[in-house]
């Protein structure tokens, strides 16, 4: 992998078959890509590994038919931000972005004991570990989820006041 | 593909379930099946300890199962404890908020007595 510190924006697109079998490879890629090409800490590399995993699992389980694929796009602006989009083709032509949005907002208000097995991915991990989260319907079917995390924007500095977990790890 | 190895040791109502590998969409069902089998055997005042020392990743569905294990054990007057989790795993457990209901310890000895 290219050494870090390139100042240029890097765009990487991956087509992933809708099979959970491949997700460990995508998690490994995410971790290394963020570690090696951005100034985000290792803790944030691990966090983005989770964000990508949750988004892809949602796209595979709720937005895809068997033998389909999803599209993952990483846009790394080395000293500014990391942006990730995950797009699926949908199971049919129904527009469901607003339903997903309403569901995750509802889940984020529930206690741990009120939630079932599902419902923590978008509402907790993705929402809390990103600065922007946007869910939109794709024109020809399916959903596009875009998340972005800023590196040095003062509004989003990760200190004890702003870090949702108030946790600084030594990894 | 992710792999998970699960080993269970039981002694005097204390069940230690050690996890090695990753808990993701491809492994979480094997994990839940084995833990539910242990919970099924639990009598009152049992304790199930998940030893997470060798666990390198877990997803939100795994945490959903952990919340369900907690509920089922509580209904048997029994306890669930998470022990020895690695830093990145602690981070995920914290952001989801599961640490607010399920006790977490740094050692197995603590987990047996907390």
Q: CATH number, domain at B38?
A: 3.30.750.24
Say if the Cβ atoms of A165 and B95 lie within 8 Å.
Answer: yes
**How large a percentage of chain B has pLDDT more than 90?**
98
Sheet holding B4-11, edge to edge: B4-11, B14-23, B47-58, B79-83, B104-105
What CATH number has the domain spanning A10-154?
Answer: 3.30.565.10
pLDDT in tens, B27-77: 999 999 999 999 999 999 999 999 999 999 999 999 999 999 999 999 999
- Beta-bridged to residue B58, according to DSSP, are B23
For the stretch B63-72, what's the b/e string if a residue is b when 16 or more beta carbons lie within 10 angstroms of its beta carbon?
bbbbbbbbeb
- Beta-bridged to residue A135, according to DSSP, are A145
pLDDT of residue A63: 85
**A162 in contact with B, Cβ within 8 Å:** no
Q: Among B1, B90, B92, select the one facing A21 at the smallest CB separation.
A: B1
Report pTM.
0.91
What chain A residue is nearest to B63 in terms of C-alpha separation? A117
Which domain covers residue B99, as residue numbers?
Answer: 4-113
Per-residue pLDDT of chain A (171 residues; tens, 9 = 90+): 555 556 789 999 999 999 888 999 999 999 999 988 888 989 999 999 999 999 999 999 888 888 899 999 999 998 889 999 999 999 988 889 999 999 988 998 998 888 889 999 999 999 999 999 999 999 989 999 999 999 876 655 555 544 555 455 555
């Amino acid at each position: 992998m290219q050494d870090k510190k390139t100042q240029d924006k890097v765009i990487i697109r991956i087509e992933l078959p809708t099979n959970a079998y491949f997700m460990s490879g995508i998690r490994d890629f995410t971790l290394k890509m963020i570690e090696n090409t951005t100034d985000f800490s290792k803790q944030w590399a691990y966090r983005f590994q989770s964000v990508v995993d949750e988004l892809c699992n949602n796209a595979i389980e709720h937005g895809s038919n068997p033998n389909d694929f999803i599209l993952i796009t990483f846009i790394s602006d080395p000293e500014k931000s990391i942006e990730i989009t995950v797009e699926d083709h949908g199971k049919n032509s129904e527009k469901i972005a607003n339903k997903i949005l309403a569901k995750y907002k509802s889940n984020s208000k529930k206690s741990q004991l009120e939630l079932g097995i599902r419902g923590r991915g978008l509402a907790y991990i993705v929402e809390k570990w990103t600065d922007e989260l946007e869910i939109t319907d794709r024109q020809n079917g399916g959903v596009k989820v875009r998340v972005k995390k800023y590196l040095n924007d003062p509004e989003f500095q990760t200190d004890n006041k702003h870090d949702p977990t108030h946790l600084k790890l030594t990894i | 593909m992710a792999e998970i190895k699960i080993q269970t040791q039981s002694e005097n109502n204390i069940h230690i379930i050690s996890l090695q590998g990753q808990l993701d969409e491809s492994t979480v069902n094997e994990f839940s099946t084995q833990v539910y089998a242990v919970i099924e055997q639990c009598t009152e005042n049992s304790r199930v300890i998940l030893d997470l020392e060798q666990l390198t990743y877990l997803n939100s569905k795994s945490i959903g199962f952990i919340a369900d294990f907690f509920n089922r054990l509580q209904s048997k007057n029994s306890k669930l404890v998470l022990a020895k989790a690695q830093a990145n795993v602690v981070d995920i457990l914290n952001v989801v908020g599961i640490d607010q209901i399920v006790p977490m310890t740094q050692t197995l000895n603590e987990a047996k007595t907390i």
